A and B are shown apart, each in its own frame.
Chain A
Amino acid sequence: MPLLEVTELQTHYATSRGLLKAVDGVSFTVSAGESVGLVGESGCGKSTLGKAILGLAPVTGGVVRFDSEAVSRLGGRARKPFRRRMQMIFQDPYGSLNPRHSIGDILAAPLAVHGIGKAGERRDRVARILAQVGLPADSIHRYPHEFSGGQRQRIGIARALILDPDLVICDEPVSALDLSIQAQIINLLVSLKGEFGLSFLFISHDLSVVRYFSDRVLVMYLGVIVESATAGQLWSRPLHPYTRALIAAVPDPARRRQSAPLDGDLPGPQDVPAGCRFHPRCPLASDRCRVEAPLPRTWAPGHDVTCHHADEALRAPAQP
């Protein structure tokens, strides 16, 4: 039984220019102790998907099950115990901390909201989580502006973990950080994963970070998952032309001055192309792709792809 089970999830917004399908029928699972990566370009709906799972964006179709309970159908009060168990870490450690609250207050707030412990116990819990994320004990009296970007992300992690959740959704947790700090934060997440027995949905546009941190990876394009596989499968045998293009676009010293592999921009979610959503940018697009949307099919155990021509992608010249 997976910890998180997302089935045909939709987040559609009614706008003056028609229906905006940010998430358009996404299904996947996260097992206990598993780290699942979610990659895609900005605008593909990956952040909205993360928020919809937590109830921070509307679910207009499909269902989110957490620990077998259909949490997306629960109202505020009934959902509250599940909210404690599903937490989020945001990209921007600057924007997600209230500058007027001390670190002690920021970290104690989730405990107060969920009515956990008395004042003294909360103070102990705050002190303990600070040590666990590697921040000095005197941080509780200080304010967010007194911390560097990496330290602020540690505060964001502490806030997410103080409720002892089961699932953590990270939305670009290291994208705003310098490389040397990025490694510190990733290592911290890896250590805490073991310590707290966490499962992760790890959303990022950075393929190398996702590859390192994920057991399984979902590739998202314009509101749908186009490929899902273990990290090993995905990089050794990417099947979807979009996955292949994403991997090929990562700068690589081995490809000196080689030209860009994928033309065009991601279309907006308001003008989703007919047929396969990727066909206007796809090197393998055929007439069939222009009219018929492909269905997901299983290529190998644990490796699904949504493409009419996945087998041709395999026969195409290997990535240099």
Chain B
Amino acid sequence: MTVPLLDVHDLTIAFPAARPVRNLSFSVAGGETVAIVGESGSGKSLTALALMRLLPGAARISTGRISFDGQDLAVLREPAMRKVRGARLAMIFQEPMTSLNPVLTIGAQIVDVLRLHENLSRQAARARAIELLDLVRVADPHRRIDDYPHRLSGGMRQRVMIAIAVACGPRLLIADEPTTALDVTIQAQVLDLLDGLRRDLGMGLLLITHDLGVVGQWADRVVVMYAGRKVEEGVPEVILHRPRHPYTEGLLAASPRTAEGSSYRDGLLREIRGSIASAAGEQGCPFRPRCPKAAPDCGHAPPPAVVVEPGHLAACPVLNPPEARDAVA
């Protein structure tokens, strides 16, 4: 058993009045793409920020370990973290428009990162920046490098963000909804680019998304989050075709994408009633207020994620009686 590149164990993120991520554990191996899926309020983006140690001021990591490349990021002091962040561990965000500085050329922003982490002359950094733009398939990088962000399309800006993120050859790249703001054709280009970089640079890729189609096409493993907790984990073939958690099942059924060939004339979509806000203050399973299969026991304590078959975890006692599913594996 090799040591994973990133091993998050029992992570809890606390605000003074709430704990939006609770007891979360997952890992990412080098060269692997792990997707975290969930809707707004699931805690997926906060998890990413915690890994980068960029949590908003009021939030803190209250328990847990973030083992990355031999260090525990959860307790690393800020000066040491600064050497990790942007170098071995990098992140791209949903909104490339607001993540780039509008008054600096894209070249200046790439050069900044290179000179911060690597001992490069200005000239060498610029040459490297042009290489990076070429790597992320920005056409005509010699000319583009002196452009300001507003001159670029949304897809091009996300490519520039990716160039900045991979400038120092990170071991792990966190991509938080990297294509949500983009058109489907551009989304395909950007995901293809990220996957190529993962392969060529041997990076781990932590892909945070709400899109089950993206998960199915690009991820090696999926972690489904709901209201701050991991409710299911497995390979996409299993999660998308025989999910065990009622939330995952509900998401798939609610998606018009997976309802192949269906039309509103044939019947309504299967909805998940209510909203994620109903999980607030819930003592038991966070999904209980919306769950069609909720049993009286579900209100007592949040169910732990248990192995339902090799490589497949689910946190639901109703669908997963302890003796069940041994035969499946």
| Chain A contacts to B: CB under 8 angstroms | 35, 41-42, 148-150, 178-184, 186-187, 190-191, 193, 205-209, 211-213, 215, 231-232, 235, 245-246, 248-263, 265-266
Contact = CB atoms under 8 A, between A and B. Distances in A.
B201 to A, nearest CB: 16
A265 B192 contact: no
Contacts of B195: 257
Given A187-B269, A208-B255, A179 B185 contact: no
Contacts of A231: 263
Contact of A187 (B39, B268, B277): B268
The 4 closest A-B pairs by CB, nearest first: A253-B216, A251-B213, A178-B39, A183-B254
B26 interface: no
A249 B192 contact: no
B277 A213 contact: no
A136 B275 CA distance: 15
A246 B186 contact: no
A251 B210 CA distance: 12
Interface in B196-224: 210-218
A263 B159 CA distance: 14
Interface residues of B, number: 49
Nearest to A148: B275
Contacts of B275: 148, 150, 180-181
B197 to A, nearest CB: 13
Nearest to B237: A253
A253 B254 contact: no
B257 A208 contact: yes
Contacts of B4: none
19 contacts: A41-B184, A42-B183, A149-B40, A180-B250, A180-B254, A180-B271, A182-B254, A183-B269, A183-B271, A207-B184, A212-B259, A249-B188, A250-B213, A252-B213, A253-B217, A253-B236, A254-B216, A256-B217, A259-B192
A212 B272 CA distance: 18
Contact of A183 (B188, B237, B255): B255
Contacts of B191: 251, 260
B251 interface: yes
Interface in B168-186: 183-186
B159 to A, nearest CB: 11
Contacts of A35: 264
A186 B269 contact: yes
B39 A180 contact: yes
A265 B155 contact: yes
A179 B251 contact: yes
B187 interface: yes
A179 B210 contact: yes
Contacts of A193: 264
Nearest to A251: B213
Contacts of A211: 256, 263
A41 B183 contact: yes
B270 interface: yes
B99 interface: no
A33 B39 CA distance: 33
B285 interface: no
Nearest to B189: A260
Given A186-B269, A207-B184, A265 B217 contact: no
Contacts of B156: 265
Nearest to A261: B188
B108 interface: no
B240 interface: yes
Contacts of B218: 251, 257
B262 interface: yes
A16 to B, nearest CB: 16
B28 to A, nearest CB: 17
B232 to A, nearest CB: 15
Contacts of B215: 253
A213 B264 contact: yes
A43 to B, nearest CB: 9
A251 B185 contact: no
Interface string B220-264: 000000000000000011001000000000110011110101111
A186 B254 CA distance: 10
A251 B272 contact: no
B57 to A, nearest CB: 23
Given A212-B262, A262-B189, 15 more contacts: A178-B39, A179-B251, A179-B254, A180-B39, A180-B272, A183-B255, A184-B273, A193-B264, A231-B263, A245-B185, A253-B215, A253-B240, A260-B189, A261-B185, A263-B189
B256 to A, nearest CB: 4
Given A178-B40, A251-B218, A262 B185 contact: yes
B39 to A, nearest CB: 4
A249 B251 contact: no
A246 B254 contact: no
Contact of A246 (B155, B185, B240, B268): B185
B101 interface: no
